[in-house]
Structure 1
């Protein structure tokens, strides 16, 4: 477990430490998380733990059932609900980005794709996960639609959790997304709104299918 530093707000540090443990699988989905135990482990007050828990509850990574707090454990229906939202919202983001993206954002996307190809060659799953999220974040920002960006933010952490925990061993999925990203980028760069929307929809639907296949195989 990482050490607490004095250079940042304590509850932010605790939030990041617990979030990292959840994403890494150190704390398992469905597992109960106890306030006093975490406070003792990190050497912080229970008030600090409560503030961090509130942030994680807002992200959807913690679930409160009466007085019991446990790690988010999505079932197939919830995963379907999240991805139905994601398909619609991010397809729209890609369509809007074709008309609103800046030259700087085009350069950012080009670099993300280039870095993703290198990370794939290096079998660097951690960097691929980061670059995957960066690609989608840039397009959402390029949509220049504040409400769309807020909606994406509300489900972003859940999507990352689902992908990280379910697809942790599926490198082939990374290979597919790098190729998909390049198709989406070309459509956006060429200002082909319908094609950008279509390619983003195909991309996310493919990711959703991979997740469902992974669930069925367990």
Structure 2
């Protein structure tokens, strides 16, 4: 890792460094996080490292295990729980967003979704799969905001980092193949048409696709010795 630049509060910088390292795979699932080592590598005191670790524990990307802090290792049950939450909340949020989509107060969000689709298309055209994960996260965040339900936003923000984490896993299991642009376009067109039923259905189909990828992977293992990340598969590129 590069030494920390001191333009921003140190805690923020250390947090962003660690979060990025986890989501990009520099820090591997199950890897032990040593506070003193990180402080030395980043050329900061242990205090901002400790606070950044606490923030990442809140995001569930780091966990305490046997007295050590380690990068979260996903399980089948974890993915099923996140999928159940998403399927309960996000289709409903999409339906609400469709009813509000042409309002003046969400016009900037509509433009943001259009720009997101263009950027996603560019990433797919150039094979930039690393760029797909943050764009996917942004697309869903904008729809949460369009729904106009602050409680939905707070619930989903609580698991936003884990959603990114699992999207990378799904891409790798699926050998970097994805229909994300078509699925996001279907959702966007339903929103633009002001069709809450189709927006809800399109979002449900989109989220359920990821669940199906995991279920197929589990089935291929006969439910035995299922590992996340899969043995022999790089969780993050």
| TM more than 0.5 | yes
* Range with greater deviation from structure 2 (75-84 or 41-50): 41-50
**1:126, CA displacement in angstroms?**
2.3
Q: For residues 6-17 of structure 1, what are the structure 2 equivalents within 5 Å?
A: 6-17=6-17
Looking at structure 2, the residues matched to 185 and 166 of structure 1 have their Cα atoms a distance apart, in angstroms, of: 22
- Quote the RMSD (CA, aligned, Å): 1.7
Q: Secondary structure at the match of 1:69?
A: strand
Counterpart mapping for 1:82-93 below 5 A = 82-93=82-93
Indicate the SS of the match to 2:3.
Answer: coil
* Bigger Cα displacement from structure 2, 199-208 vs 32-41: 32-41
The structure 2 residue matched to 1:203, chosen from 206, 209, 225, is: 206
Cα deviation digits, residues 110-160 of structure 1 (max 9, x gap): 221122122211111122222211211111110111000000101110111
CA distance in 2, matches of 1:8, 1:75: 35
Q: Does the CA-based 8 Å contact 1:167-1:211 persist in structure 2?
A: no
* Aligned with residue 143 of structure 2, among 139, 160, 166: 139
Deviation at 1:46, TM superposition (A): 1.4
The corresponding residue for 1:186 is: 189
Classify the secondary structure of the residue corresponding to 2:177.
Answer: helix
SS of match in other structure, 1:85: helix
TM-score (norm 2): 0.85
Distance 1:192 1:89 in 2: 17
- The 3-state SS of whatever aligns with 2:152 is helix
Would the alpha carbon gap of residues 166 and 37 (structure 1) be closer, same or farther in structure 2, given more than 3 Å must change? farther
Superposition misfits of 4+ residues, deviation over 4 angstroms: 214-217
Unaligned runs of 5+ in 1: none
Query: What residue number does 1:28 align with?
Result: 28
Query: Residue 93 of structure 1 contacts residue 139 of structure 1 at CA under 8 Å; is this kept in 2?
Result: yes
Q: State the partner residue of 1:94.
A: 94
Summarize deviations over 1:32-67 as a string: whole Å, max 9, x none: 211111112212111111111111101110001353
Q: In structure 1, which of residues 163, 170, 179 is the aligned counterpart of residue 167 of structure 2?
A: 163
Structure 1 distance, partners of 2:170, 2:28, is 12
Structure 1 counterpart SS, 2:69: strand
Cα distance in 1, alignment partners of residues 117 and 12 from structure 2 = 31
Which consecutive unaligned segments of at least 5 residues does structure 2 have? 222-229, 231-237
1:213 correspondence with 2:216: yes
Matched, 1:151 2:155: yes
Q: Which one has a larger percent helix, Structure 1 or Structure 2?
A: 1
